[in-house]
Amino acid sequence: QVQLAESGGGLVQAGGSLTLSCVGSGRSISPHAMAWFRQAPGTEREFVAGITWNGRSTNYADSVKGRFTISRDNAKNTVSLQMDTLKPEDTAVYYCALDLTPRLTPPRATYEYDYWGQGTQVTVSS
């Protein structure tokens, strides 16, 4: 079992920045791909960014490419999401997720991920 805990959410004005963190406990996250998803009210949970176990491969949703950066520190059992140039449409609950299956690239589908955090709210005001 692994527990994931997100932090770093909050209220920010459009154009601002936030950094989200996700800390794993119970087992090491280092062998596993990790990802960030988000869900706005009335919408389905959507992929934001993913990173392979060694950090060498990342992928991003088109809507955040160039603005968000995913990274990880396996020694600290942590994955982060740096969010810059935030827009009101980035408002959502952000979740981190862990994929137990070894892959070359992080998957984008929610059903590929085995463990989820509780989420952290990000609100971007216009």
Decide if 55 contacts 71 (C-beta within 8 A): yes
* pLDDT tens string 71-84: 999 999 999 999 99
* pLDDT tens string 42-66: 999 999 999 999 999 999 999 999 9
Helix%, strand%, coil% for the chain, nearest 5: 5, 50, 45
Instruction: With cut-offs at 50, 70 and 90, classify the pLDDT of residue 116.
Output: very high
Which residue has 């810059």 as its token pair?
A: 84
| Cα pseudo-dihedral 21, 40, 114, 104, rounded to 10 | -70
Decide if 117 contacts 24 (C-beta within 8 A): no
Burial of 111 (0-12, 13-18, 19+ CB in 10 A): exposed
DSSP string for 24-72: EESS--TTSEEEEEEE-TTS--EEEEEE-TTSS-EEE-TTTTTTEEEEE
According to the model, what pLDDT value does residue 103 have? 86
